[in-house]
């Protein structure tokens, strides 16, 4: 992407963010709202319960830190320095973090992207204190994204088996239902299709008011369908909380 294209994209993103919100505060007319409405609600309620030292794995722009109101310290870890994490790690290698040094680990919407999944799982186990909690969220029904690093999907049953059998699964929540699943796939398909070439990008800018209106309508229909749908059949995300075993088991 050349400088002019990058500048144009940044400007569009700024305008769109001002109109529709930015993560994690998306408005109901943002095209990503269906994918995040339940996840952000649940994380917003769960995060203040996490105390002590918190490690945010794959922290990105650290969108959830404002909710970690009971934390003594928040430490961000990522594989790239772009978002200025506290710790930059090399995939597949040991993290520069002491054993049993964190009271909780947060890994939201990141495990589907990691190439060294077994290492990440092992490192979370290593750095978490006994009786510490791991909060994990992953997508289930969602389009391919972040290519070429979109590598896996987890069902609710798959998430429950991420850690060894001696870990206690405190809860597994299916988030979203049929409405969110259909709506987000359609809106993401439309957004990707309108972002492929210069002519379609220009069209996307010209049709921004219509795009916002379509997103609002699809989001509204999706939310209604979610309220009457069966979450065990179709869901967008999975949120799980695990308890690492202590010395007494």
Q: What's the pLDDT score for residue 74? A: 94
Closest CA to 127 of 158, 106, 152: 106
In the numeric block, the tokens 């405190």 are attached to 170
Rounded-to-integer distance, Cα 111 and Cα 124, Å = 12
The pLDDT of residue 221:
97
Would you state the pLDDT for residue 76?
94
What structural domains does the chain harbor?
3-243 (3.40.50.150)
| pLDDT for the residue numbered 248 | 61
Residue 232, pLDDT score: 79
Predicted local confidence at residue 85, as pLDDT: 93
- Contact indicator for 120, 111 with CB cutoff of 8 Å: yes
pLDDT at 32 (0 to 100): 97
Tell me the pTM: 0.91
**pLDDT attached to residue 216:** 98
Beta strands 237-243; 87-88: pairing state: unpaired
**Please, are residues 230 and 177 in contact by the beta-carbon 8 Å criterion?**
yes
Q: What integer pLDDT is reported at residue 208 of this predicted model?
A: 94
CA atoms of 233 and 174, how far apart (whole Å): 10
pLDDT under 50 in the chain at which residues?
none
How big is the chain by its Cα radius of gyration, in Å?
19
| CB distance 19 to 216 below 8 Å | no
Rounded to 5 degrees, what angle do the CA atoms 100, 249, 98 make? 5
Pair type for strands 25-26 and 21-22: antiparallel
- In three state form, how does the secondary structure of the chain look? CCHHHHHHHHHHHHHHHHHHEECCEECCCCCCHHHHHHHHHHHHHHHHHCCEEEEEECCCCCCCHHHCCCEEEEEEEECCCCCCCCEECCCCCCCCCCCCCEEEEEEECCCCCCCCHHHHHHHHHHHEEEEEEEEEEEECCCCCCCCCCCCCCCCHHHHCCCCCCCCEEEEEEEECCHHHHHHHHHHHHHHHHCCCCHHHHHHHHHCHHHHHHHHHHHHHHHHHHHHHCCCCCCCCEEEEEEECCCCCC
Q: Are 136 and 107 in contact (CB under 8 A)?
A: yes
pLDDT at site 196: 86
| pLDDT given for residue 158 in this prediction | 96
pLDDT at 193: 93
């Amino acid at each position: 992407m050349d400088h002019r294209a990058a500048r144009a994209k940044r400007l569009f993103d700024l305008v769109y963010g001002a109109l529709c919100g930015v993560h994690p505060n998306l408005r109901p007319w943002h095209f990503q709202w269906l994918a995040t409405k339940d996840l952000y609600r649940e994380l917003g309620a769960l995060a203040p319960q996490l105390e002590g030292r918190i490690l945010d794995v794959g922290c990105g722009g650290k969108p959830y830190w404002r909710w970690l109101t009971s934390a003594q310290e928040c430490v961000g870890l990522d594989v790239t320095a772009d978002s200025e994490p506290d710790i930059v790690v090399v995939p597949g290698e040991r993290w520069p973090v002491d054993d049993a040094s964190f009271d909780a680990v947060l890994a939201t919407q990141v495990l589907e992207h990691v190439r060294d999944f077994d290492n990440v799982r092992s490192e979370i186990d290593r750095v978490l204190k006994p009786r510490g909690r791991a909060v994990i969220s992953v997508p289930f029904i969602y389009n391919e994204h972040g290519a070429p690093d979109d590598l896996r999907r987890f069902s609710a049953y798959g998430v429950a088996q991420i850690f060894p059998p001696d870990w206690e699964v405190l809860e597994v929540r299916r988030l979203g239902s049929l409405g969110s699943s259909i709506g987000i796939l359609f809106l993401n398909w439309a957004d990707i299709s309108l972002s492929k070439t210069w002519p379609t990008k220009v069209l996307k800018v010209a049709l921004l008011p219509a795009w916002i209106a379509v997103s609002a309508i699809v989001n509204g229909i999706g939310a209604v369908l979610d309220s009457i749908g069966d979450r065990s059949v179709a869901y967008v995300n999975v949120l799980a909380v695990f308890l690492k075993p202590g010395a007494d088991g």
